[in-house]
Structure 1
Amino acid sequence: MASVDLTLEWSSEQEVKEITPEFVSKLEELLRLAGELEGVEAGEVALTFVDDEAIHELNKQYRDIDKPTDVLSFAMSEFGEDEIEIHYEQDEEDAAEDDAEAESFIEPLGDIIISVPRAIAQAEDYGHSVERELGFLFVHGFLHLIGYDHETEEEEKVMFGKQEEILQKAGLIR
């Protein structure tokens, strides 16, 4: 199996007692396991923990849905119809500099935003730990970043099966 070099950059816009150094290590493990399962060998995921008000605003702004949600994902590799790829010519010296920079550059996979209050409420509703719910939402967001969706029953079955497999491997059981 190829080595996985996925990086997690996280931040929190509020004080969250569940986000301990041990839990951050668990998130990094989830990222590595998901990357191995899906053949994603490298990249960076930016994770932000927010409150319901912040995720509500983002959901309204980017999805035109006027209510809070539990997780949002914004993939960096998506090209919409209105977006264009830019190509330019460069000389050999510039190309050599770009190659050196590219070796140290970590490709961003995208951003995951999780509402902590919503995760806490859902953990209570489902009868499992907050850590398990946050881990579930993180893996769910990651799978969205790499192209999975759950618009149909079959897509949902595949995506949720993968999520459960990753969570089980990491020891985050119900």
Structure 2
Amino acid sequence: MILLENQTDTAIETAHLEPIAKALTDREIEVILTDDATIRELNREHRDKDKATDVLSFPLEGDLPGQPLGSLVISLDHVVQKAGELGHAPEEELALLFIHGLLHLLGYDHETDRGEMRAKEAELIRRFGLPESLIVRTEGGE
């Protein structure tokens, strides 16, 4: 189950995220949709990187019954801008970032693995009917 909080004035459809989540975990996931200024602040505070980013993942340690998997923070400013640049729907961009962040919550790490996370992203992009162009982006290290 997804607990969603949209902290912006941007309306965006999110129902398509639930099947993706259910395909990967039965644990609750908090999703916070925010703006570039807020995600920049979080990125600086938690990763020592003073710049806006697209998605941040905050996994919860442990595996107690009923414990949420963690939280995802996604910049809707980034979603809208990148979707416009690449010519696909903001909902598709949101799904890509959700997949990416969720895989991090599940322990995948594209910076240290041997392509497992990228392969899983590509599999999920195909499975959920997202544009093939998103696979190229994930393979390109975006």
TM-score category, normalised to shorter length: 0.7 to 0.9
Match of 2:83 in 1: 123
Residue of structure 2 aligned with 1:60, choices 12, 31, 44:
44
- Give 1:61's aligned amino acid: E
Give 3-state SS (helix, strand or coil) of 1:25's partner.
coil
- Give 2:17's aligned amino acid: L
Higher RCO, Cα 8 Å, sep 6+:
1
Shift in Å, 1:150:
1.2
Residue of structure 2 aligned with 1:13, choices 7, 13, 27:
7
Shift in Å, 1:126:
2.7
* Distance across 1 between alignment mates of 2:15 and 2:76: 18
Larger CA deviation: 123-132 vs 107-116: 123-132
Q: Are the equivalent residues in 2 in contact too, given 1:11–1:47 (CA < 8 A)?
A: yes
What is the aligned length? 131
Give 3-state SS (helix, strand or coil) of 1:29's partner.
helix
| TM-score of the superposed pair, with normalisation by structure 1 | 0.69
- Give 2:86's aligned amino acid: Y
C-alpha RMSD of matched pairs (Å): 1.8
- Structure number with greater Rg is 1
* Distance across 1 between alignment mates of 2:28 and 2:125: 20
Shift in Å, 1:58:
0.2
In structure 1, the gaps of 5 or more residues are: 1-6, 79-101
* Distance across 2 between alignment mates of 1:67 and 1:121: 16
| TM-score of the superposed pair, with normalisation by structure 2 | 0.84
- Give 1:67's aligned amino acid: K
In percent, how many aligned pairs have the same letter?
37
Q: Are the equivalent residues in 2 in contact too, given 1:70–1:119 (CA < 8 A)?
A: yes
